[in-house]
Chains A and B, each alone.
Chain A
């Protein structure tokens, strides 16, 4: 399977990474190189094989549904690039 320039732009958009027009061709080549490398997986017979969901067999642990942390807005916001009071500030999302 190999991808075209439009697919590179679509993936970049899905990944929310700005890609300049002059980078598309180069990226396309690299991604196709990696896809060609993983192509050999198609020769493996995986009929009836369960996909791995947990590498160590373990039962999912549960904990009490109780508050164990929180109430420290200042710690949460300390590294924010933009804040106002106890809020993160982002560009306007609703017109």
Chain B
């Protein structure tokens, strides 16, 4: 029999249903794998007792013949999701030993459907980063290595722990959050599938807020179908988040495998950026050829404001972050540093509790929102956001069903290699993904090949609002053609 940790979610669901193994055995196999993989630093908190208790309850329901859709499926949860009774830190020192007294809506949906919590996974502090190097718990290591090299690579970010855990078989799937690429970029770096749903598809309630108009939760898994299975449970209307939409949640799993014949797929010419590695260019052409072979029609399209998405993002996201993160003041939760007076207490607590990248973004956000600069920076960026969204709308209005682009401008890089001297160098990682957040669209990263050094590369599919189904159908075509990619175990 295959190792239990190597199963897909669909395969595990089948095995559990036919009682080939129990949910407790499945959870145990993962807990053991997690113990052996601590060198990856993917988990910031393992919850073995809770995992076994949940698995036991799953076994009881399976025994009664009443399994829920995710019954007994062991998952990792990004530490941005509040989990009741389980420490939640957002990868920051400032939250200290914060133990929520409530559960995020998305994770509550997973437990409602029978999933099992293995633990909380690492992320860049407050999800601000593209390499998982800004976490207060230290960097996460990518299970992938360059051929013939021991150099530790980043798993991408901000959901680096989620990506590393799923790729290294330390969970069958994971949750992530994506504000500028934080699900799709790490999925690409780790050779797995990741989806950022349409803004409003998943409730943001109970997720630590970074940039509220851009943040969206989504799933990671090792296949397109597994990602679709998780997506169906995570999505859905929530009265506690007024930006969550009241639309029926489709059967995404059924969408994976649907024909893509006759679909019109846009190839945005502005994504052919200067200095794009030849391997990425080749991968993109290969992806287009696969979709064409499956009966889709490829059309070159133009999204003229693409190059402004990243600079506009670095106004909008820090502005919203500076406002959202004002709540960390040492009064209601988290750490407190004593000061001369209350203002001194705030200033010292925040200087001590926030890391370098978070402090820098709060300050940028404070500046662009300050009197005299608000119109020049923030309002202008929001106008440009309107133009970015309009570019997509015009293409969709001309009958384009989805777009195909590379997911990232490079494969995974080494720890400490980027952004040390110039933060912009790190920000450029999100050049292909950030447009999707700015326009509120769904995006799917699907592994599509390995580069010359043996590292995974991915393609991105961008969809019309609330049409995640088309992305799952197209993603399945890419996966069927490209195959799946598993790192060799060295840990």
Point out residues on A near B: beta carbons under 8 Å.
1, 3, 7-8, 11-19, 27, 30-31, 33-35, 37-42, 44, 46, 49-56, 58, 60-61, 63, 72, 75-76, 78-82, 88, 90-93
Residue contact B311 to A79, C-beta cutoff 8 Å: no
Choose one: B213, B336, B366, B423; the contact of A81 (CB below 8 Å).
Answer: B336
B345 at the interface (CB under 8 A from A): yes
B329 touches A16 (CB 8 A): yes
Contacts of B342 in A (CB 8 A): 90-93
Does any Cβ of A come within 8 Å of B385's Cβ? yes
| Known interface pairs A38-B314, A38-B377, A93-B342; A58-B245 also in contact (CB < 8 Å) | yes
Query: Which chain B residues border A55 with CB–CB below 8 Å?
Result: 199, 213, 385, 389, 438-440
Residues of B within 8 A of A27 (CB): 360, 363
Is B384 interfacial (CB 8 A cutoff)? yes
Which residue of A has the minimal Cβ distance to B310?
A: A37
Among B342, B363, B422, B424, the one with the most A-chain Cβ atoms within 10 Å of its Cβ is: B363
Q: Which of A34, A35, A90 has the most CB of B within 10 A?
A: A34
Task: Give the docked Cα–Cα distance between A42 and B379 (Å).
Answer: 12
Q: Contact at A56–B331, with CB atoms within 8 Å? A: no
How far, in angstroms, from A33 to B293 measured CA to CA in the complex? 46
Is there an interface contact between B440 and A56, defined as CB atoms closer than 8 Å?
A: yes
Using known A-B contacts A44-B308, A56-B199, A56-B465, determine if residue A81 contacts B330 with beta carbons closer than 8 Å: yes
Closest Cβ of chain B: how far from A8's Cβ, in Å? 8
Whether B334 and A79, one on each chain, are in contact in the complex, defined by CB atoms closer than 8 angstroms, is yes
Which segment of B163-171, B186-194, B347-355, B443-451 sits at the interface?
B347-355
Asked if B333 and A16 sit within 8 Å, CB to CB, the answer is no
In the complex, A75 Cα to B383 Cα: how many Å? 42
Residue in B closest to A79 when the chains form the complex, CB atoms: B333
A50 to B364, CA, bound (A): 23
B335 at the interface (CB under 8 A from A): yes
**Interface secondary structure of B, over-half rule:** helix
Interface residue B381 (Cβ < 8 Å from any Cβ of A): yes
Residues of A within 8 A of B344 (CB): 18, 91
Docked-complex contact A79 and B341, CB < 8 angstroms: no
In the bound complex, residues from chain B placing their C-beta under 8 Å from that of A8 are 363
Instruction: For the complex formed, measure the closest distance between the CB of A74 and the CB atoms of chain B, giving whole angstroms.
Output: 9
At the interface, yes or no: B151 with Cβ under 8 Å from chain A?
no
8 further A-B pairs in the complex, CB-CB below 8 A; given A31-B363, A56-B245: A1-B376, A16-B347, A17-B359, A37-B427, A38-B381, A46-B383, A58-B243, A72-B101
- Cβ B308 vs Cβ A52 within 8 A: no
| Contact (A33, B422) CB under 8 Å given A38-B311, A46-B380 | yes
Q: Which residues of B contact A91 (CB under 8 A)?
A: 338-339, 341-342, 344-345
State the CA gap A63–B239 with chains docked (Å).
9
> Do B424 and A61 touch (CB < 8 A)?
no
A14-B366, A17-B350, A91-B339 known; A33+B423 contact, CB < 8 A: yes
Q: Hey, which chain B residues are within 8 Å of A44, CB to CB?
A: 305, 308, 380, 384, 387
> Contact partner of B363 among A17, A33, A56, CB < 8 A?
A17
18 contacts between A and B (CB under 8 A): A11-B363, A18-B348, A33-B424, A34-B423, A37-B314, A38-B312, A44-B308, A46-B380, A46-B383, A51-B379, A55-B439, A56-B245, A58-B200, A79-B333, A81-B96, A81-B331, A81-B335, A82-B336
Chain B residues whose CB sits within 8 angstroms of the CB of A12 once the complex forms: 363
Is A17's CB under 8 angstroms from B362's CB? yes
- Find the A residue at minimum CB distance from B311: A38
Cβ–Cβ contact A16 & B350, under 8 A: yes
Q: Is B322 an interface residue (CB 8 A)?
A: yes
**CA–CA, A60 and B341, complex, Å:** 40
**Are B332 and A79 in contact, with the CB atoms below 8 A?**
yes
Distance of A11 Cα from B362 Cα, bound (Å): 9
Q: Is the CB of A19 within 8 A of B377?
A: no
Complex contact B322–A15 (CB within 8 A): yes
- Would A41 and B380 count as touching, CB distance under 8 A? yes
- B51: interface (CB < 8 Å): no
For residue A79, which residues in chain B have a CB less than 8 angstroms away from its CB? 98-99, 101, 332-334
Chain A residue contacts of B387, Cβ below 8 A: 44, 46, 49
Residues of chain B within 8 A (CB-CB) of A63 are 239
Any chain A CB within 8 A of the CB of B144?
no
User: Could you tell me the distance between the alpha carbons of A73 and B183 in the complex, rounded to whole angstroms?
Assistant: 36
| Distance A24 CA – B308 CA, assembled complex (angstroms) | 29
* Alpha-carbon distance between A78 and B102 when the two chains are bound, in angstroms: 12
Instruction: Considering the complex, give the chain A residue whose CB is closest to the CB of B347.
Output: A18
Nearest-Cβ distance from residue B6 to partner chain A, whole angstroms = 38
B258 at the A/B interface (Cβ < 8 Å)?
A: no
Instruction: Point out the residues of chain A lying under 8 angstroms from B96, CB to CB.
Output: 81
Say whether, besides A52-B385, A56-B199, A80 and B332 are in contact (CB < 8 Å): yes
Which residues on A sit within 8 Å (CB–CB) of B359? 17
Distance in angstroms between the alpha carbons of A72 and B465 in the assembled complex: 39
Interface centre among A12, A61, A76, A91 (most CB of B within 10 A): A91
- Which residues of chain B from 293 to 352 have any CB-CB distance to chain A below 8 Å in the complex? 305, 307-308, 311-312, 314-315, 322, 326, 329-336, 338-339, 341-348, 350-351
Given A75-B101, A79-B333, verify A38-B315 contact (CB < 8 Å).
Answer: yes
A-chain residues with CB within 8 Å of residue B314 when the two chains form the complex: 34, 37-38
